[in-house]
Structure formats: structure tokens, C-alpha cells
Amino acid sequence: MAARDEVVRRLREMLGEAALAPDEDYAKGVSWTVQVPAASLPEVLGVFKEAGFYLESMTGLDFQDTLEIVYHMNTYEPRSRMAVRVLCPHDGEVPSATGLYDSALWQEREVWEFFGVRFAGHPDLRPLLLPEDSTERPLRKTFGTVHAYRKREEIYG
């Protein structure tokens, strides 16, 4: 618990109270959700790194108005998982986390090839799971058959 509280304290100072949302019951599987502007992502992940967190999962969400990258951070203590969420326009860029976490090398390649998010500062953006000459962005809602393509507020509003 100690590591989690330390991160929450430092992020409060850095981003202000409004950016953090607690989930005491762990109903969504995370204890805190942090909304971060893309520019301050490296600092925020640096705080996690210093507290001994690892990058558990990283994925994208495609909405009509924006893309969203969700990082799930966890450490070896009970109920410490925290979500870091970054909004990014469809043709936008997000700073890379590869300097902090080696696991981001592959995870960012995956998000890049499936969603078309560019990671500024990633040393080696090649397709990972898709064929090496692929230019499609399969997990965007504009690819193939999709059930629904919604605005972000329709789900999180």
C-alpha cells in the first residue's frame, strides 16, 4: 500500500486534485484513475517507476472524437493497480515511455500498429504482430465491420 499512497501523494502535487479519481471498492479493477495530459506523461510515469511500479498493460480506445491510451500500472502489493489515461487526437503523438520501461518497447509497437498512435521518441517502431508491410490500423473503428462507433462522452460521460 505504501508505494501506491506515495504515488498518489506526488501526483496530487503535480497534477492537482481533479486529475485523480479513487475507486475504493476496486469495482473496475483499479484503485485510482489518473487523467494525464500527453505532455506530462513522461513525468507521471517517472513517478510510477521510482515507486517500483511496472507497466502491466497498455492499450488504446478509439472514439469518434479522440483516441485514448490506457496504461495499467501495478506493483507487487495487494490492490495497487492504477490506470493512467491519455487523450490523443487521431493523427496525434504521445511521448514514448521506452526510456522508463523496457516493456513499453513492444507494447507501444503494438498500440502503434493497431491504432496508428505515433510514439515520439520510440527507437524502433516496426509492426510487431501484423505483417511487416502492413499499413492497416485494424483496431480502429473505421476498419472492417464494427458494431458501434461512439463519442467518448457516450461511454464515460
Partner 1 sequence: MAEQFAEPVRQHLYSLNLGPQHPSTHGVLRVLLTLDGEYIVEADPVIGYGHRGHEKMGENRTYLQFMPNTSRIDYLSGLLYNHGFCLAVEKLTGIEPPERARYIRVICAELNRISSHLLWFGTYLMDLGAFTPFLYCFDDRENILDILDRVSGSRLTYSYCRFGGVTRDIDDVFIEQTRAFVKRLRSRWKDYHNLVTKNVIFIHRTRDVGVIDKDLALRFGVTGPNLRAAGVPFDMRKVEPYEVYDRFDFEIPVGEKGDALDRYRVRLEEMEQSCRIIEQALDQLPDGPYRQERVRLKVKPPRGEVYFAFESARGQTAYYLVSDGSPYPYRCHVRVPSFGNLHCLTEVLRETLVADAISILGSIDIVVPEIDR
Contact 41, 95 (CB under 8 A): yes
Which one, 41 or 98, has the nearer CB to partner 1? 98
Which one, 9 or 151, has the nearer CB to partner 1? 151
CB of 20 to partner 1, least distance (A): 17
C-alpha cell at 81: 493497480
CB of 43 to partner 1, least distance (A): 19
CB of 56 to partner 1, least distance (A): 6
Residue 63 CA to residue 69 CA, distance in Å, equals 11
CB of 36 to partner 1, least distance (A): 17
Sites of contact with partner 1 (CB under 8 A): 26-30, 52, 54-57, 59, 61, 70, 72, 76-79, 81, 83, 101-103, 105-107, 114, 127-131, 138-139, 143-148, 150, 154-155
Which one, 94 or 109, has the nearer CB to partner 1? 109
Q: How many CA atoms lie within 13 A of 13 on its CB side?
A: 7
Residue given cell 473505421 in the structure block: 142
DSSP character string of 61-106: EE-SS-EEEEEEEE-SSTT--EEEEEEE-TT-EEE--TTT-TTHHH
